[in-house]
Structure 1
Amino acid sequence: MSKQTALRLPDETYERLRVLSERTGRTAAYYMRQAIEQHLEDLEDIYLAEQVLERLKRGESRTYTLAEVERELDLDD
């Protein structure tokens, strides 16, 4: 199932999208979906990284050195 939504674009962006659609024979909606799907994962990663950094700053989490991880996993030689 999919949902419909409205999106306001600056004139220049809309024109670029229109030209791309016209030249490639694909719809503007196709390219908008592609852009959102490709960048949504990046935005999610950034948001999660910011949360981790905040927890580190507050002392609620800690980092581990490679040596500590190797020792914990019994990988040290």
Structure 2
Amino acid sequence: MNKRVTIEMPDEMLKLVEGYAAEKGAAPDAYMLEVIEQHLEDLHDIALAEAAMERIRTGEDQIISSEEFWRGMDD
């Protein structure tokens, strides 16, 4: 189920959104939904990367060379 959300933004920002949306051939609201979705995906990717780095720092995971990786694929 979708919910409608209203935001207030400065006129200059709205003009930018409208301009970028027009470049993509999209309505401003559809463009903003795409921008928000992309940002949320980016935040998720960052969280996964930070978790991976923490596992490396704690020794739970280790880094291997590509040579070692591919060597294991021959088995």
**Scaled by the length of structure 2, what TM-score is found?**
0.65
Please list, as runs of the form range in 1=range in 2, the aligned pairs for 1:1-77 lying within 5 A after superposition. 1-9=1-9, 11=10, 12-17=12-17, 19-20=18-19, 24=22, 27-74=27-74
Aligned pair count reads 72
Per-residue deviation, residues 13-45 of structure 1 (Å, max 9, x unmatched): 23433x538x94854322211211233322221
**Whole-Å separation in 2 of the counterparts to 1:4 and 1:53:** 37
Name structure 2 gaps, 5 residues minimum.
Answer: none
Larger Cα-atom Rg: 1
The structure where helix makes up a greater share of residues is 2
Name structure 1 gaps, 5 residues minimum.
Answer: none
Give me the identity figure in percent.
Answer: 36
CA RMSD of aligned residues (A): 2.8
**Scaled by the length of structure 1, what TM-score is found?**
0.64
